[in-house]
Amino acid sequence: MANHTDNTSTATPSSGKRTVIYVILGLLVAVLLVLCIIFAHQRRQMNEMVEILELEKEQLTDEYEDLSIQFDGYQQLDVRNDSLQEQLALEQQRVRDLLEELRITKVTNARRIAELKKELATVRQVMVTYVRQIDSLNQTNARLTKENQQYRRENQQIVEQNTQLAEQNTQLTATVTRAAMLEITHFAVTYLNQRDKKTKNFSKIHKFQFDYSIGKNITCPPGLKMVYLRLTRPDGEVMLKPSAPTFPFENGTLEASVAQEIEYSGEPMNSTMYWTVEEVLFPGDYTVDFFADEQHIGSFSFHLKK
């Protein structure tokens, strides 16, 4: 009986230790399992957060690209303001730099991405200000352009009216000038020999007698007037004396074959000029032109037969 009691008490401590070990192992397994669950949950949350950050970065990148395109569009506008044009260029470069930085920024750098997002909002505000300035400038330019077009139309109308008035004045002046101009109404040529007798013999012609009449003109100022005659040969040469008189005509000066001073009263009058033949005559058509008051007042011709 005594021996049996000793064996039982010896086995009990060993069995208790195993139980403790099993309990500890069980606790460790439970803790490990809990840790695995927590780790898996955190990993899932981390993946979800990374996906959110990636999506946010992608959206932010798209917004920066859209903003850059908008700046490109405003750069193409005809902004007639050098200072504003320069500011637009600086802001556009700023957007490009921020966009490049955003592309190389890691998704996990949430702090920097948030800062870039704030930068985007700031740039947008600046762009809104510039857009308002551009719109204001465009409206002003449009108004000025419209006003300039209106002024040009009005000036064109004034120019056209002035041109018409100038043409009317020119026509009126020409009409008045023509109305006041003397006019040769009759002309005749007589061939004279050395004894101032009429002759039809070509070889005996010593002098030309030019008889002419001036018509009535009450609008022409009366008084002394010079009448000039130019005698042109059949070959086109004007017959002149060494001391030929000159007279103004059409912004120039012409030489006359014969000149005569007359007193004109506005009533019809007759007069005569002479040309002494000192050169060789040629048969053919001769032309006689009359001038007075810087005007061509008559042209006649006669045929000389040999």
Same domain, 91 and 223: no
pLDDT tens-digit map of 254-272: 999 999 999 999 999 999 9
Same domain, 121 and 198: no
- pLDDT at residue 27, as a whole number: 84
Establish if 77 belongs to a structural domain: yes
Same domain, 70 and 169: yes
Q: Which of 179, 212, 235 is the last residue of a domain?
A: 179
Same domain, 30 and 140: yes
Lowest mean pLDDT among 63-67, 248-252, 286-290: 63-67
Q: In terms of pLDDT, which residue wins out, 86 or 228? A: 228
Same domain, 37 and 95: yes
Establish if 114 belongs to a structural domain: yes
pLDDT tens-digit map of 75-115: 655 555 667 777 777 777 777 777 777 777 776 677 877 78
Same domain, 148 and 192: no
Same domain, 219 and 293: yes
Domain count, the chain: 2
In the predicted structure, residue 56 carries a pLDDT above the cut 50: yes
Q: Which of 162, 179, 196 is the last residue of a domain?
A: 179
Do 80 and 138 form a contact (C-beta atoms < 8 A)?
Answer: no
Same domain, 129 and 78: yes
Question: Residue holding tokens 């005809």?
Answer: 78
pLDDT tens-digit map of 149-186: 888 888 888 888 888 888 877 775 555 556 668 999 99
Segment of 42-46, 139-143, 151-155, 229-233 carrying the highest mean pLDDT:
229-233
- pLDDT at residue 2, as a whole number: 45
Same domain, 58 and 204: no
Is the overall model pTM greater than 0.85, yes or no? no
Q: Could you list the residue range(s) of the whole structural domain that residue 23 is in?
A: 17-179
Which CATH number belongs to the domain containing residue 291 in this structure?
2.60.40.10
Report the Cα–Cα distance between both ends of the chain, in Å, rounded. Answer: 199
Q: How confident is the model over 139-151, as a mean pLDDT?
A: 79
- pLDDT at residue 24, as a whole number: 87
Q: Which of 179, 214, 235 is the last residue of a domain?
A: 179
Q: Which of 214, 224, 217 is nearest to 266 (CA)?
A: 217
